[in-house]
A and B are shown apart, each in its own frame.
Chain A
């Protein structure tokens, strides 16, 4: 867990540096160029999300399977191999050695230890799964997430087979198919943690057993499998591919309606648990789900996607979900595991301050990305003959706002993590 939290700090730190180097590449090219900082930022984010989700999963699985606290060999293999590989990846980045593709820019052979590590996690999980007395929804979500991550990770590496590189279009479609579904797979693990926490906090086991909950689980699985096409709407692909993605993505309106319906219920629940830090993060994640779902629904309409694709609106969606939803749920899960709520008021005050600073800066961060993306999207159609630098002049103003809000975001998280690391030392 400590390693995952270090990855979170690395994500925010490299992200802030990358945004400054984006605005002033002439200066940063002399020391640490953007093309080196971006993979450091993106890979750190991936390893924070995946590492954070799996470390929470390994803790919660002991509660559902009544396993002892001692780590199994498979767990130790997963944790150690994963951490060593991540360190090696950053060493390669520091020597400007790349070779992979977007999000996985490190030399592809390093995917092999990550794969072995993941298989070890699967062994550890299914051993616990066999011991589980029953399978509430969160166990389903974790199982689905773990299995689909394996599939998408393998699919992500299919490009090593020459047949997949016979056409650039085939390659790019398969790449974004796997990337899109992979996000869904770790979302299943993280949302499973969120559900587990809600059951534990409220003491209502029925939340994870209702028909409606299972219905929405299967709807989310369907979206994970078939709703990734918005990444490649503008790639010359077979029309049926776009039709399937567009059709399935519109089922997300049901999530939207469900959120509006349960608004009052959530408000009542909030009054009861608002003093808990764990619950605060879960509520923040809910709010960010609402905003990001709205954005995702709009981006899933091809006619709108035509303007937003390849702009910072896509980044707003990616960062909004990664920080606003996934990170908030992981912060909630970790505060529960590390018993942050039981710490002294003095320590918890840091978390409260950090929480409010990070939420406020994330709002500015997210909105500035949307405005920047909207400007880029409209200008590239309205002024098709101007140079890229001219196109970006008004956009860059908003990217400056983004950079400064990113620095405050880092500050907010550092304040919170100060207490988390203290709790970790105690644990």
Chain B
């Protein structure tokens, strides 16, 4: 009857879903889903340590170039990304902007020259400097607790 009575199709579908979600197993599933949604909202709002500064339009442009040229295929930020080149999270602090700009603009034997304009190269460097200001890529040994967990501080 459920499939043949087209006149009441909408109501029956609703009824079928309602009775399904009133079963014991469905209740567990629903509770878990609600918890997951609340957890997700908490992460969106408070999951990260606060940024020092909001991204400027220059940083956003650099971020876009980073994605358009698929830099993440070879480089990591916070250990996430490819493995061909080094992790660039703290590269601005470690190497300095002028040093990095040469690589970004001209490439190396191993890294292709993406023929970026000077402005684009500057924007990528600004983006990397912004990422650098958000934290350190490597976890210091002293941060590890006896539980095997660790706590990180804002940079």
- By a beta-carbon cutoff of 8 Å, the part of chain A in contact with chain B is 22, 25-26, 29, 33-36, 38-39, 98-102, 105, 130-131, 135, 140, 144, 155, 158, 164-170, 172-174, 176-177, 214, 218, 221-222, 225-226, 231-239, 241-244, 246, 301-304, 306, 309-310, 312, 315, 380-381, 384, 388
Contacts and interface: CB of A to CB of B under 8 A. Distances in A.
B144 A26 contact: no
Interface of B: 2-3, 13, 16, 20, 25, 28-29, 32, 35-36, 39-40, 43-44, 46-51, 54-55, 60, 63-64, 67-74, 76-87, 109-112, 130-131, 134-139, 144, 148-155
B2 A35 contact: no
Nearest to A25: B110
The binding surface of chain A is classed by DSSP as helix
Contacts of A25: 84, 109-111
Contacts of B43: 173-174, 177, 241
Contacts of B2: 130-131
B68 A177 contact: no
A225 B51 contact: no
14 contacts: A29-B112, A34-B73, A99-B64, A100-B67, A102-B81, A166-B55, A172-B77, A222-B32, A225-B39, A237-B49, A238-B48, A241-B47, A244-B39, A310-B87
Nearest to B83: A312
Contacts of B20: 135
Contact of B67 (A98, A234, A304, A315): A98
Nearest to B71: A35
Contact of B39 (A226, A231, A236, A239): A226
Contacts of A35: 69-71, 73-74, 82, 112
A166 B139 contact: no
Given A34-B84, A218-B32, A309-B79, A169 B149 contact: no
B47 A236 contact: no
Nearest to B52: A167
A98 B68 contact: yes
B148 A380 contact: no
A291 B89 CA distance: 32
B96 to A, nearest CB: 15
A264 to B, nearest CB: 29
Contacts of B25: 140, 214
A158 B68 CA distance: 18
Closest 8 CB pairs of A and B: A310-B79, A169-B48, A236-B135, A388-B86, A167-B51, A35-B73, A98-B70, A225-B36
B50 A167 contact: yes
Contact of B151 (A168, A231, A239, A303): A239
A234 B51 contact: no
Q: Most B CB atoms within 10 A — which of A166, A231, A235, A241?
A: A235
A166 B16 CA distance: 43
Given A98-B69, A238-B46, A165 B63 contact: yes
A242 B148 CA distance: 11
Contacts of A244: 39
A378 to B, nearest CB: 13
Given A158-B44, A173-B43, A302-B149, 13 more contacts: A35-B73, A35-B112, A102-B72, A135-B20, A165-B60, A234-B137, A234-B139, A235-B48, A236-B48, A236-B135, A236-B155, A380-B138, A381-B138
A34 B85 CA distance: 11
A241 B155 CA distance: 18
B128 to A, nearest CB: 10
A310 B3 contact: no
A124 B36 CA distance: 26
A316 B29 CA distance: 32
A235 B135 contact: yes
A164 B87 CA distance: 23
B150 A168 contact: no
Q: Most B CB atoms within 10 A — which of A36, A38, A140, A243?
A: A38
A100 B109 CA distance: 26
